[in-house]
Structure 1
Amino acid sequence: MTSARETVLGRIRDALTLAPVQGTPVDRAYRTGRTLPDDERLALFTDRLVDYKAEVRTCTADRTAATVAEVLGEHDARRIGVPAGLDPSWLGTYDGEVRVDSADLPAPRLDALDGVVTASAAGCAETGTIFLDGSPDQGRRALSLVPDLHVCVVDLSAVEVGVPEAVARLVPDRPTTLISGPSATSDIELERVEGVHGPRTLVVVIRTDA
């Protein structure tokens, strides 16, 4: 007896035989290579992030630790998680408890953290999107999704104008997470609710001369 699955697949094969798909090359270079001066790219990126209700701080590389500690203090984050490969100097002036994440740390333990600090792989100014790719300084996806506060350090040099340029910076086989503002949904009666699928608060620290 022929199953429903086999019947459907058979009809698809028959249809393809009658009208074979003709491959047409697609030009994917139509929007690549766009650039903007640093100050314009920073302004555009900041504008999009703020529009998504993210907090934005800018600093020079030598002020990273002070800026991160200032943000954590303002949000009363006394216990934070960090990926194993995060630059320890970024937390040089932070006086709270730091827990280095590991794969065997369960989600409830992550939920007990006040926040998390990570680096980033790339950014897109046009959409206000930050890309994480699971590198050692960014950690696994759960680390940036479970705690209620995410402090993400982004180098302006890694922020591209558009999506094609930003995606070109990524390694295709890495587990990429795209972040556009704090977690939010309007699925229930069109009322915005934050913190449903990830951190309620996103603070982006942009290093302008990294």
Structure 2
Amino acid sequence: MSSRERILGRVRRALADVPQDDTPYEDAIARGYLQEHDARSPEQAADLLAENLADYRAIVHRCTADDLAATIAGLLSARGARTVLVPPGLDLGWLAATGAEQLPDHADTTPHELDRIDSVVTGCAVAVAETGTIVLDGGPEQGRRRITLVPDHHICVVRVPDQVVSSIPQALSCLNPALPLTWISGPSATSDIELDRVEGVHGPRMFEVVLVTGMPDAGAVA
């Protein structure tokens, strides 16, 4: 008998005379959480999202669907990006105005190859106004998790108002927990014991978010 079996046997014997709960565990505790702290219009939610993203040192841009390609091209040019990584389901019209070389992601692309790419452009699954958080779930416009963690510059497009919710509870109701969820609040950063902030430690050093209006959503959140 292994140590594991011995310990589990002791636990089972200790619980043998404990009566079973009448109420299932998931129903035993009331979870009547607030869905949002304040009622907001879509415009107010987008404004709060922009404010909180900026507070986390993300760089926020706003444009219309007609101006999206030019906006992204300008951001890549300002960064001096010569190469841009493209998720498999990204609308190539978003990159129509850029002169950067567009590199499709492949399953066999190594972290070293990703590290040599200047920028990555993705969509998102949902954006949370109250926390300034962008959530990725590996959808076609977002690609694999690693492509948004290794390159040093990430441009993320958020459809407004379709992909913006006020709160975390609202975001959770829109997401599939079986998917690889990545929650992003600003550029990757850490601080040492003297509170010196260093960015780009666990992900991109520069995180730019484009809030775009007037764009049909490939899968609007509820």
Instruction: Name the counterpart of 1:104.
Output: 108
What's the CA shift string for 1:127-157, capped at 9, x where partnerless? Answer: 1111111111110011110000000001122
1:16 aligns with 2:20: no
Which of 63, 73, 78 aligns to 2:77? It is: 73
Instruction: Name the counterpart of 2:187.
Output: 182
Q: Distance in 2 between matches of 1:173 and 1:121?
A: 14
Instruction: Name the counterpart of 2:200.
Output: 195
| Residue 113 (structure 1) shift | 0.5
Q: Distance in 1 between matches of 2:124 and 2:201?
A: 22
SS of the aligned residue for 1:168 comes to helix
Query: Which residue identity is paired with 2:66?
Result: D
Give the superposed CA RMSD.
1.8
Q: Distance in 1 between matches of 2:120 and 2:101?
A: 11
CA contact (8 A) 2:76 2:100 kept: no
Q: Distance in 2 between matches of 1:5 and 1:71?
A: 56
| Residue 75 (structure 1) shift | 1.1
Which of 52, 59, 66 aligns to 1:55? It is: 59
Matches within 5 A, 1:57-206: 57-156=61-160, 157-206=162-211
What's the CA shift string for 1:80-139, capped at 9, x where partnerless? Answer: 101011001000110111101111111111100011000111111011111111111110
Instruction: Name the counterpart of 2:214.
Output: 209
Report the TM-score, using the length of structure 2 for normalisation.
Answer: 0.87
Distance 1:146 1:20, change over 3 A: farther
SS of the aligned residue for 1:13 comes to helix
SS of the aligned residue for 2:171 comes to helix
| Residue 12 (structure 1) shift | 2.4
Unaligned runs of 5+ in 2: 216-222
What's the CA shift string for 1:35-94, capped at 9, x where partnerless? Answer: 521221111101110111100001111111011111111111111101011001000110
Which of 5, 8, 33 aligns to 1:30? It is: 33
| Residue 187 (structure 1) shift | 4.9
CA contact (8 A) 1:117 1:150 kept: yes
| Residue 176 (structure 1) shift | 1.3
Query: Which residue identity is paired with 1:36?
Result: R
In the alignment of these two chains, the number of paired residues is: 209
| Residue 28 (structure 1) shift | 4.2
Distance 1:35 1:159, change over 3 A: farther
Query: Which residue identity is paired with 1:51?
Result: D
SS of the aligned residue for 2:135 comes to strand
CA contact (8 A) 1:153 1:205 kept: yes
Unaligned runs of 5+ in 1: none
| Residue 21 (structure 1) shift | 6.2
SS of the aligned residue for 1:8 comes to helix
| Residue 208 (structure 1) shift | 2.4
